[in-house]
Structure 1
């Protein structure tokens, strides 16, 4: 589905991003992973023999993003897709309890990084009539208690996705977002430990989705592969729920 596509993937070293990297490779793409952390030896070994470029990059730093994109273009001469996946979820606090530095870091990593990747990638996407994919969250649509700043970033991503879709449609560039609910990732596990009822949170999360227990990130990766493929060629400005129905109606949880 993604044969010969050059995809820049932020936050590709763990969680949903790592599952997306594997799915994109399986679908025939070349994947350029941008991550603030170096990949583990096991993951580097898993990528051995694949067409992958791994760059250490703090996506909240404009100069590092610019350098990373220059490296990608120097090596591959083009970019077909950008997947803005990198994010943090800490802290789990109400708005009044959130410090300035915590707020700024969330905004820089989750939201401002999309400004940077677009700024340095859009000219290349115009040439390839490529696409942009943003990783959002169900909480950006329905809200969540005790997580105000994070929710704000995801709500902003939803609105930004629609604005970008309109801005770049004349260039045949599609812009969409994927919206997970509870996905079993290191980020969610860390969030769970911040909750006052940490011992019960896994049970709660497993009952959140009508379709069943928390899945791994591969269910998101499959949806992302579709949205980046030609099969989604007439889809833009969509916030696609991949949530097992978590946002649907009243439910009785026994």
Structure 2
């Protein structure tokens, strides 16, 4: 069923991971999709696998206002309108405490994860008012429950949650809904890179499975299905919602992974990613 037939989606971070799965879901549901990324290689790879007249690729950085103003204008020029803005682009580094995080690292993660939403909204809100459109933000479970050794990242996701609710109130009079999706662990290229950097690589996969009470760490398609619901008419009376897609990971603490004999290393940090 094409529940997004003739809709136009402006999707940031859409060439990898959750974003790529969302792009495929939106297209299959009948949407035209403008995919924004700042990664040339990733854009090229994605275009080779996923390209037709209803998919439009734009090289742009969400942290740069002129890039996003240009991307919004290009999308409208190409497709004629924008119905949905999905703010999926995000970075998770550095894996540090507050005091160990440099000014440059702090600014980078905030400029992408939070200011990116500011930029797409600032330059896209006029188009959404015309279509009574939708804004969807990709947040994270850690924005609610916290996470050790990821102070800047968790701070940005907490900000995304609060921003989502404020925007829902601000734009409801225009018929615009604003929601966020909050995954826990999701197998994306970013998570796989992080997993390979951990000191106990052999146990990471089982660890990531076990932190979810449903018993497994999902692929991005699980999150994409929920995103499709939130941007469709099926969720027409849902706004200001931070919807967990977490397999129950937030419901309580359990000691999931035994340490190897003689190993005093602490358990690895869960990595919630875009």
TM category, shorter: over 0.9
Q: Deviations over 1:3-35 (max 9, x none)?
A: 111000000010100000001001100000000
Within a 5 Å distance, the mapping from 1:225-244 to structure 2 comes to 225-244=228-247
Matched, 1:140 2:149: no
Contact 2:185 2:217 in 1 (8 A): yes
TM normalised by structure 1 equals 0.96
| Corresponding residue of 1:53 | 56
Following superposition, which runs of at least 4 residues in structure 1 exceed 4 angstroms of deviation? 193-199
In structure 2, C-alpha distance between the alignment counterparts of 1:21 and 1:165, rounded to whole Å: 23
In structure 1, C-alpha distance between the alignment counterparts of 2:51 and 2:160, rounded to whole Å: 33
Q: Deviations over 1:90-111 (max 9, x none)?
A: 1100110000000000000111
Structure 1 residue ranges without an equivalent (≥5): none
In structure 1, C-alpha distance between the alignment counterparts of 2:96 and 2:202, rounded to whole Å: 18
Paired residue secondary structure (1:95): coil
| Corresponding residue of 2:29 | 27
Q: Deviations over 1:57-116 (max 9, x none)?
A: 011111111111110111122100000000011110011000000000000011101000
* Structure having the higher Rg: 2
Contact 2:43 2:59 in 1 (8 A): no
| Corresponding residue of 2:269 | none
| Corresponding residue of 2:165 | 162
In structure 2, C-alpha distance between the alignment counterparts of 1:163 and 1:231, rounded to whole Å: 22
In structure 1, C-alpha distance between the alignment counterparts of 2:92 and 2:218, rounded to whole Å: 19
Q: 1:98 to 1:199 in 2, by over 3 A?
A: farther
Query: Is the deviation greater in 200-209 or in 135-144?
Result: 200-209
Q: Which of residues 4, 7, 18 is equivalent to 1:5?
A: 7
In structure 2, C-alpha distance between the alignment counterparts of 1:203 and 1:249, rounded to whole Å: 18
Q: Deviations over 1:133-171 (max 9, x none)?
A: 000000000000010000000000000000000000000
Q: Deviations over 1:153-194 (max 9, x none)?
A: 000000000000000000010000000000001112233345
Q: Which of residues 76, 84, 107 is equivalent to 2:79?
A: 76
Contact 1:80 1:129 in 2 (8 A): yes
Paired residue secondary structure (2:186): coil
The alpha-carbon deviation at position 205 of structure 1 amounts to: 1.1
